[in-house]
Amino acid sequence: MEATAQEVDATVTAAHAAREALADRTVRAAFLRTAADHLEAAKGQLVEVADAETALGPVRLNGELARTCYQLRAFAGIVDEGAFLDVVINHPDDTATPPIPDLRRYKVPLGVVAVYSASNFPFAFSVAGGDTASALAAGCPVVVKAHPDHPALSEVVARVLRNAAAEHGIPAGVVGLVHGFEAGVELIRHPLVAAAGFTGSIRGGRALFDAAAARPVPIPFHGELGSLNPVVVTEAAAAERAEAIGAGLAGSMTLGVGQFCVKPGLVLVPSGAAGDGLVKSLTDAVSNTDPGVLLDHRMRDNFVAGVAERAQLPDVDAPVTPGAGGEHTVSAGFLTVPASRLAAEDEHDLLLEECFGPVTVVARYDDEDEVKAVLSRLPGNLTATVQVSEAEAAGEGRATEILAELTPLAGRVLVNGWPTGVAVAAAQHHGGPYPATTSTSTSVGGTAIERWLRPVAYQNAPEALLPPELRDDNPLGLPRRFNGRLER
């Protein structure tokens, strides 16, 4: 099953040869829509295969497949519109200082994109997921490194995409697929690979990021690695709705057996009666959560060992003990610790690292200075959340300051919500400071397409030689900025 170096080379070469077939935007958009149609038509088979390999359940998998099809169609719409090309035209201006020549700028696809599938999203962040959809929309063929947790599903989905491509005269090589650890290493080193997208662990992602940078010709590597997703609960919020916040936290941290990249892993809760009420609500809700199956035994072993190591630290308690729930399952739980233990560097730094699975750390703080001290020690995150009272939401108290303190820590900042659930929308940003991601880009939403494009400007090129996207008469009807004026 594992691809050899020769097979990786052949797959990448075939993808490289398919670039011209994606040059026509109309064909690209139609291909993406057909791919979504074919995935929906094969839903029964796909969900059955996915459930057999991941045990995520038909309800979750049907929802994720629907999201995947929505992404494909959304990117088709972006391709049709053409704004992603970012066309800018400046006619000569001899009166400027210095004089401006005739300049015309737009964006072109980078080339073959390597996509590294995620374990926890076998559809939405895998063979037909957001990285693949956005790369194809940009005009880039893809070679996907299948995740070992769902190899059969990866093959079936790749076949569906190739069949969709064939309907539009696009070679099958436009979507390549390889299996195996060494194949993943060969892929990032291949000279015809122009960029890469990754979703997974910090260790694996950093190794590939370093390999991408160490190439004779370095390439962009857009990696989503790991995130603690901190939550701050103000004292006023805890006093006003402790029960609701505790129940909401329980639902968010146990959703998908705690295997979402935006699971809240650290929650700052006030000491005292208001915070006690929240912890009681959390205890009740988590205690009523059934054990669940993690994606593979390696993850289960890491979870059981990780929570046991954390629980043994001084001043750490487990109101609901997380760990092994059975031979194949794990039980949800949470740990509590005084926030002062996290305010200075010591062995408790382990609690500031992501633990993949249904567990969170509740840090009880005595005052606002402790909150600031803990936040100052956190690495980059995908999300950060603040729970505020009704009065604070209207501008009273320190809510605005807390929001400002959270903003440097994450790519998405939430107020009175929970981070699990990443909407596919134009304004979405799914990324954050390192180690959440290795770049400033998003992997969800329309602007994810920008990762696979580069700008190029033509200077003093005769109209007859210009690509149609850059001609004065705008034969493709593209949105553009023409001599400083935005044209829709």
Q: Nearest-CA neighbor of 201 among 227, 176, 178, 166?
A: 227
Spatial distance between the Cα atoms of 393 and 375, rounded to a whole number of angstroms: 21
Partner residues linked to 324 by β-bridges: 330
- As a residue count, the chain comes to 488
> Cα separation of 100 and 468, whole Å?
22
Burial of 23 (0-12, 13-18, 19+ CB in 10 A): exposed
Question: What's the distance, Cα to Cα, between the start and end of the chain in Å?
Answer: 50
- The amino acid sitting at 41 is A
Report how far Cα 107 is from the mean position of its chain's Cα atoms: 23
Helices 130-138 and 25-41: angle between axes, nearest 10 degrees: 150
224: annotated active-site residue: yes
Residue 102 — φ and ψ, nearest 5°?
Answer: -70, 120
In the block, which residue shows the tokens 């049709």? 80
Structure tokens at 253: 């941290």
Helices (H), 288-410: 297-311, 368-375, 390-393, 399-406
List 53, 64, 224, 392, catalytic entry: 224
Of 53, 64, 140, 261, the catalytic one is 261
Q: List the beta strands (DSSP E) in 215-358.
A: 221-224, 230-233, 266-270, 292-293, 317-320, 323-324, 329-331, 333-338
Dihedral sign computed on CA atoms, order 165, 168, 170, 171: positive
What does the radius of gyration of the chain's CA atoms come to, in whole angstroms?
24
Catalytic residue set: 224, 261
